[in-house]
Amino acid sequence: MQQQAVLLVDDEKYSSYSNTCTIFSSLKTLWFWTLPNLKSICVHPLDFPCLEEISVNECPKLKKLPLDTNSANNNTLREIVGSTEWWESLEWEDETIKSTFAPYFK
């Protein structure tokens, strides 16, 4: 049985909501564990004004986090947890974004 890669947030549906409200306005923790086919959370960066922690474990196809330079203004983020191998394999829009979030990686 062939398994398809998974996209967590449908970008088309999210964009219709994002203009009217912040869907993830109270979300504090993102945990992604043992999701071998999770390829993307969302194509575009998401707004997480209360996010404190991102934890990723056994999600080898997840290569991008929904973060950008605007996400760096989030003063609530405390940590990003995952394997060093996963962190090093992440793809970023530019190195500035990676270096901005590197201090949170554990």
Q: What are phi and psi of 99, to 5 degrees?
A: -65, -30
Residue 5 resides in a domain: no
Residue 44 resides in a domain: yes
Residue 20 resides in a domain: no
User: Averaged over 51-68, what is the pLDDT?
Assistant: 93
pTM: 0.78
How many distinct structural domains can be found in the chain? Answer: 1
* 22 pLDDT above the threshold of 70: no
CA-to-CA separations, 86 to 53, 65, 75, in angstroms, rounded: 16, 11, 24
Residue 13 resides in a domain: no
Residue 8 resides in a domain: no
Q: What residue numbers bound the domain in which 49 lies?
A: 29-104
Q: What is the pLDDT of residues 76-89, one digit of tens each?
A: 999 999 999 999 99
Is 51 exposed, middle or buried, given 0-12, 13-18 or 19+ CB atoms closer than 10 A?
buried
